[in-house]
């Protein structure tokens, strides 16, 4: 499932809020005639986008699985797209069985951007020391206790705080490279940060991005990263980057 998160209060169904889960479950209920619960690989936050979200649901419906994407799409708004559907084993769980996830975060270095860019990026002016950001990203790669890079609350308690990040890659490019015609021929550059990991805690990617930006601005040194991990306090790391720049790219099983 692919969605533009701009007009959703995130994945997870909440009363009186427009959510991706709620919207999908409504459409599936109408399609199958039965209330249908959907489970997603990643419960993306309000404003976060997805290119390759994976969801599963159980149904007794006899609609051929090949026809589900088109039939479901007809009942969905334009900001959710069903890319593919397949029948899985009854034990398949999109969330628990995910082995690897890719996320991408877009930082745009331009005063003036088009609406399509604004919707999907963090717009930042001022200098960024990308070399220092790359050094800090290297320090974050590997298996770590990411308590300093997540937020807990009543609904979200911290379970196992260890995650393994396989890679964090920073790619500089032109707006045209990243957005094609939707860059509207405007000049300006962007920094794309690609994450690959075995899983990510709540707000973890955005906390890492915010911290990397603080490194890029010289507020945090790449040498501080070890100390930040050790502190196991959210306040020891940098700010949280805005959700609009974040996209769930792909989930591997």
Q: Any idea which residues carry the catalytic annotation?
A: 45
Distance in angstroms (rounded) separating the CA atoms of residues 100 and 198: 4
**Binding of its own copies at residue 249 (CB under 8 A)?**
yes
72's tokens: 């479901």
Q: Can you tell me which of 66, 84, 227, 239 binds its own copies, judged by CB under 8 A?
A: 84
73 CB contacts (<8 Å, ≥6 apart)?
A: 81, 82
Nearest to 194 by CA among 120, 93, 102: 102
Q: Which helix (H) or strand (E) is 169 found in, with range?
A: strand 162-174
Nearer to its own copies, 111 or 153 (CB): 111
How would you classify residue 185: left for phi > 0, otherwise alpha for psi between -120 and 50, otherwise beta?
left
CB 206 within 8 A of CB 5: no
Q: Can you tell me which of 90, 126, 159, 185 binds its own copies, judged by CB under 8 A?
A: 185
**Least CB distance from residue 199 to its own copies, whole Å?**
21
**Binding of its own copies at residue 3 (CB under 8 A)?**
yes
Nearer to its own copies, 118 or 189 (CB): 118
Q: Can you tell me which of 75, 81, 151, 231 binds its own copies, judged by CB under 8 A?
A: 81
> Which stretches of the chain bind its own copies, using CB under 8 A?
2-4, 6, 51-52, 69-70, 78-84, 104, 106, 111-116, 118-120, 176-186, 192, 249-250
């Amino acid at each position: 499932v692919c969605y533009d998160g701009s007009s959703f209060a995130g994945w997870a169904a909440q009363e009186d809020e427009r959510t991706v889960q709620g919207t999908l479950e409504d459409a599936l209920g109408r399609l199958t005639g039965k209330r249908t619960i959907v489970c997603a690989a990643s419960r993306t936050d309000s404003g976060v986008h997805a290119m390759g979200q994976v969801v599963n649901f159980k149904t007794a419906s006899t609609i051929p699985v090949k026809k589900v994407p088109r039939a479901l799409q007809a009942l969905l708004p334009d900001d959710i797209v069903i890319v593919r559907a397949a029948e899985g084993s009854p034990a398949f769980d999109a969330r628990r069985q995910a082995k690897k996830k890719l996320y991408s975060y877009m930082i745009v270095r331009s005063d003036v951007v088009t609406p399509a860019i604004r919707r999907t990026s963090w717009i930042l002016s001022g200098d960024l020391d990308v070399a220092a950001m790359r050094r800090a990203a290297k320090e974050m790669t590997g298996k770590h206790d990411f308590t300093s890079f997540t937020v807990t609350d009543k609904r979200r308690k911290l379970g196992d705080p260890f995650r393994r990040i396989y890679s964090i890659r920073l790619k500089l490019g032109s707006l045209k490279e990243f957005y094609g015609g939707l860059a509207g021929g405007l000049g300006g550059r962007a920094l794309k940060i690609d994450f690959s990991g075995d899983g990510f805690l709540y707000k973890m990617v955005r906390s890492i991005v915010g911290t990397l930006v603080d490194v890029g601005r010289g507020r945090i040194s790449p040498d501080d990263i070890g100390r930040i991990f050790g502190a196991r306090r959210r306040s020891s790391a940098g700010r949280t980057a805005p959700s609009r720049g974040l996209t769930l790219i792909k989930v591997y099983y």
